[in-house]
């Protein structure tokens, strides 16, 4: 793809990162391929040849040729099966019809994946973020999904493959064949694992299990039983209790990932509180939480600028295939176009895929041409403007990162939650043998009484220039150094 640049340019990026003491990981999508991929084109040309078994191709039932092999649904709505008339087979696609799933039961597929990983590692890549990697193992008999589970999770059949029968085996094999080779530095395996939960997540990432290093589990991205497709206000108090419970269940072999956003979800500031008055404070609060909590933080592009959802007005402004498919499905099921659009606008992934604003020009400095996706440039929230503003969200993130980088306690120290029953207030201490920090957050849009001040606490970083003793302003965050570890 010419628009993605050349391998020589990528080599320069890798070398530039390494010269600066950074590591670089790429996205690895091996649950499925494009239907334009050479493997799939060869499978279509000869489904009984060597590449047919690379995919899950199923002949029709002679008695019911029009019926798919089972009732599994795509994550993007509709059946997870596509009929291929040219070869008279059904092909499984858990996502878009143009994304057929690979057949990991085939050992040749697993060796192909290991080989491509080794190829990238030889170029200097340091690891991979592994797209929906927990979906790679499907039961060979492809049983129907339970209707009740399908109704609850909105994807029928997911219980059979979100934690498939050979998942652990496949991950251990891939690590041994590509990520942990003798005489080479181990490479990072970060798995995107929707629906996994705490305990099964621990089985996938335990340091002694030889599988993944970290996972992205999405259970915390919607609060109180809501889904991404609802327009509601996210409850930070719910997230506080979720995080406290999660940390309490981790053992010495476990480690947590911390994130609020990625390319598949709307912006968190818009979900928590879309009031522009609170945008800056809330952006700083979320950054403070990510970069001082125990775990490995992941910052998605735009968070450091307090990016919010885009004011899309029409479906044709969106490029998100999921949004278009959901809109059509909702209308076919009887929703009005206004109702369907309201749900799509609340949930579209394009909120996070719009180019970030590098400057205040009409295209945000992203291009001199027409960007692939339109985005609004809000005054004061471009990179150029925030670089010049010492009180900006961007500069708050930079101070947080510098503080974290210089502190072993903030990177690896234990966490002790302070008065967790105090509603609206989220406070904790991070400590190791040499130092300790107290972090205090107001999770609400109202002034809030703080926990009693700790002796010898010295403020080192705050979201608000003015401080009121004993009170946190709406969405205020503070980090204090405790001069003597307690």
pTM of the shown model:
0.93
Residue 203: pLDDT above 90?
Answer: yes
Cα–Cα distance measured from residue 120 to residue 104, given in angstroms and rounded to the nearest whole number? 20
* Contact call for residues 219 and 213 (beta carbons, < 8 A): no
Residue 440: pLDDT above 90?
Answer: yes
As annotated, the residues of the chain forming the CATH 3.90.400.10 domain(s) are: 38-92
As annotated, the residues of the chain forming the CATH 3.20.20.80 domain(s) are: 2-35+102-387
80-109 confidence digits (pLDDT tens): 999 999 999 999 999 999 999 999 999 999
How high is the mean pLDDT of the chain?
Answer: 95
Cα–Cα distance measured from residue 256 to residue 214, given in angstroms and rounded to the nearest whole number? 7
The answer to whether residue 101 is catalytic is no
Cα–Cα distance measured from residue 133 to residue 137, given in angstroms and rounded to the nearest whole number? 9
> Mean pLDDT across the stretch 101-119?
98
The answer to whether residue 391 is catalytic is no
Give the β-pairing of 448-449 and 471-472: antiparallel
Which is nearest to 239 in space by CA: 222, 257, 218? 222
Residue 486: pLDDT above 70?
Answer: no
CATH topology of domain 2-35+102-387: TIM Barrel (3.20.20)
Which is nearest to 135 in space by CA: 112, 106, 109, 102? 102
What's the pLDDT score for residue 74?
96
Which of 35, 101, 192, 440 does the annotation list as catalytic?
A: 192
Which of 105, 112, 131, 169 does the annotation list as catalytic?
A: 131
Please tell me whether residue 276 adopts helix, strand or coil conformation.
helix
What's the pLDDT score for residue 484?
56
Task: Grade residue 459 by pLDDT with cuts at 50, 70 and 90.
Answer: very high
Task: Grade residue 453 by pLDDT with cuts at 50, 70 and 90.
Answer: low
Q: Looking only at Cα atoms, what is the longest distance across the chain? A: 79
Residue 192: pLDDT above 90?
Answer: yes
User: What is the residue-wise DSSP string for 113-148?
Assistant: HHHHHHHHHHTT--EEEETTGGGS---TT-PPPPHH
Please tell me whether residue 8 adopts helix, strand or coil conformation.
helix
What's the pLDDT score for residue 468?
78
403-436 confidence digits (pLDDT tens): 999 999 999 999 999 999 999 999 999 999 999 9
Please tell me whether residue 238 adopts helix, strand or coil conformation.
helix
* Contact call for residues 430 and 444 (beta carbons, < 8 A): no
Cα–Cα distance measured from residue 301 to residue 352, given in angstroms and rounded to the nearest whole number? 8
CATH class of 38-92: alpha beta
């Amino acid at each position: 793809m010419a628009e993605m640049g050349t391998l020589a340019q990528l080599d320069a990026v890798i070398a530039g990162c390494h010269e600066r003491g950074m590591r670089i990981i790429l996205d690895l999508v091996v649950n499925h391929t494009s239907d334009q991929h050479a493997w799939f084109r060869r499978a279509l040309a000869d489904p009984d040849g060597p590449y047919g078994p690379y995919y899950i191709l199923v002949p029709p039932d002679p008695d019911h040729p029009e019926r798919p092999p089972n009732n599994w649904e795509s994550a993007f709505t509709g059946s997870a099966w596509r009929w291929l008339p040219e070869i008279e087979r059904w092909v499984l696609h858990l996502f878009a019809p143009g994304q057929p799933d690979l057949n990991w039961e085939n050992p040749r597929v697993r060796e192909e994946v290991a080989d491509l990983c080794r190829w990238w590692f030889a170029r200097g890549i340091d690891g991979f973020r592994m797209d929906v990697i927990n979906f790679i193992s499907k039961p060979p008999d492809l049983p129907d999904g339970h209707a009740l589970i399908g109704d609850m999770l909105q994807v029928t059949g997911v219980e059979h493959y979100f934690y498939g029968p050979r998942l652990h085996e496949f991950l251990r094999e891939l690590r041994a064949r590509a990520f942990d080779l003798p005489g080479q530095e181990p490479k990072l395996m970060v798995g995107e694992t929707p629906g996994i939960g705490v305990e099964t997540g621990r089985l996938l990432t335990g340091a002694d299990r030889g599988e993944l290093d970290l996972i992205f589990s999405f259970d915390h991205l919607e609060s109180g039983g809501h889904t991404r497709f609802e327009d509601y206000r996210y409850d930070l108090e719910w997230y506080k209790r979720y995080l406290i419970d999660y940390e309490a269940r981790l053992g010495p072999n476990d480690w947590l990932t911390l994130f609020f956003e990625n390319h598949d979800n709307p912006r968190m500031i818009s979900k928590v509180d879309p009031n522009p008055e609170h945008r800056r404070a809330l952006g700083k609060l979320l950054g403070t939480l990510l970069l001082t909590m125990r775990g490995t933080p992941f910052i998605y592009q735009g968070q450091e600028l307090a990016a919010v959802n885009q004011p899309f007005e029409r479906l044709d402004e969106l490029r998100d295939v999921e949004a278009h498919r959901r809109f059509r499905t909702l209308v076919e099921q009887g929703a009005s176009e206004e109702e369907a659009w309201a749900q799509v606008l609340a949930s579209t992934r394009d909120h996070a895929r719009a180019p970030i604003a590098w400057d205040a020009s009409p295209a945000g400095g992203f291009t001199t041409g027409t960007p692939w996706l339109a985005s609004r440039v809000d005054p004061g929230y471009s990179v150029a403007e925030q670089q010049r503003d010492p009180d900006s969200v961007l500069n708050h993130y930079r101070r947080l990162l510098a503080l974290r980088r210089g502190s072993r306690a903030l990177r690896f120290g234990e966490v002790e939650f302070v008065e967790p029953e105090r509603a609206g207030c989220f406070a904790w201490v991070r400590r190791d043998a040499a130092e300790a920090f107290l972090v205090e957050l107001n999770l609400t849009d109202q002034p809030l009484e703080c926990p009693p001040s700790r002796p010898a606490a010295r403020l080192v970083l705050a979201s608000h220039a003015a401080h009121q003793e004993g009170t946190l302003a709406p969405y205020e965050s503070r980090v204090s150094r405790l001069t003597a570890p307690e």
